[in-house]
Amino acid sequence: MKNRNPATPSRTKVRSLVIVGMMAALTMVMALTPLGFLRLPLISITLLHLPTIIITILEGPWMGMATGLMFGLASWYNAATTAGLLNVFFLNPVISVLPRLIIAPVTWAVYRGMCKLFKKGRQVLPIAVSAVVGTLTNTVGVLGLLYVVYAQDIVTRFAALAGENAAAGAAVAQYGMLQDPFQGVALFLWATVVTNAIPECAVAVIAAIPVILAVRKLDRTPTALMRRQAR
C-alpha cells in the first residue's frame, strides 16, 4: 500500500523551500524599501532580522542561515548605496554579514532549549524568548564587532566630521571620545544597543508569535521541530 502520509520527504522539502523563498523575497523587499530600515543620523534600526528569526523557528538553523545571508548582503548593499556616518564600516562583511549568519544557530538553540523546558501546548513563550535572543544576537553582534574592529576608526571619523555634522559633533562631545577614545566609543555603542534593542525586540515578539502560530495552524504536516526530533 502506498504511503498516504502528507508529510513525505519530497513534500516536506518543497514546503521548506517555498517558505524559505518567501522569507528571502520578503527580506529583499524590506531591504530595498523603507520597510526594512528606520534610518537615523548615526545608524539604522533594522527590521530585517524578522524573516531570519521566523524561518529559523519554522524550518531550523540551516534555512535560517540562508535567510540571514540575504539579510547580511542586503545590509552590505545598503551601506554601499546610502549615506551614513557608520555605513563605511558596514562595507566589511565581518560587520554586515557575519552577525546575521549567527542569528539562526543562536535562535534555534534557544528555541529547542525552551521547547524542552516547556512541553506541548506552550508555544508562545519559546517563540517570544527566541525572538528576543535572536534580535539581541543581531544588535549586540553588529555593534560589538564594530567596537572590536573599528573603535579607533570611529573616533577618527567622528572627530573629522564633528565640525560639519551635528550628529557626529554631539557624539564626540557627549561621550568624551577625544579624551578617552575607547571608552567613549564603548559608551556610544552601548547607548545605541539600548536604544535599538528595546524597539527591535518588541517588534520581533509582536511579529513572530502570530506569524509562526498561523503558519503552523495552516500546516497540517508535523512542525519542523517535531520532524527533526523524530529522526
20-24, 30-34, 185-189: least confident range: 30-34
Quick one: pLDDT band at residue 89, thresholds 50, 70, 90? Answer: very high
* Distance between CA atoms of residues 5 and 3, nearest Å: 6
Which CB contacts under 8 angstroms, 24+ apart, belong to 214-220? 215/19, 215/58, 216/58, 216/123, 219/15, 220/6
**120 has pLDDT over 60:** yes
Q: Are 218 and 15 in contact (CB under 8 A)?
A: no
Q: Are 26 and 51 in contact (CB under 8 A)?
A: yes
Strands (E), 94-227: none
Which pTM value belongs to this model? 0.80
Query: Between the CA of residue 13 and those of 18, 171, 227, what are the distances in Å?
Result: 9, 50, 12
Please count the other Cβ atoms lying within 10 Å of the Cβ belonging to residue 190. 15
Angle 211-213-219 (CA atoms, 0-180°, nearest 5)?
Answer: 100
pLDDT for res 196:
79
Query: Between the CA of residue 88 and those of 78, 142, 143, what are the distances in Å?
Result: 10, 14, 14
Domain ranges (residues) in the chain: 9-230
pLDDT for res 77:
87
Query: Between the CA of residue 31 and those of 26, 73, 104, 173, 190, what are the distances in Å?
Result: 8, 10, 19, 32, 25
Residues 162-180 have pLDDT tens digits of 877 888 888 888 888 888 8
Total residues belonging to the chain: 231
Determine the average pLDDT of the residues in 136-149: 93
Architecture of the domain made up of 9-230: Orthogonal Bundle (1.10)
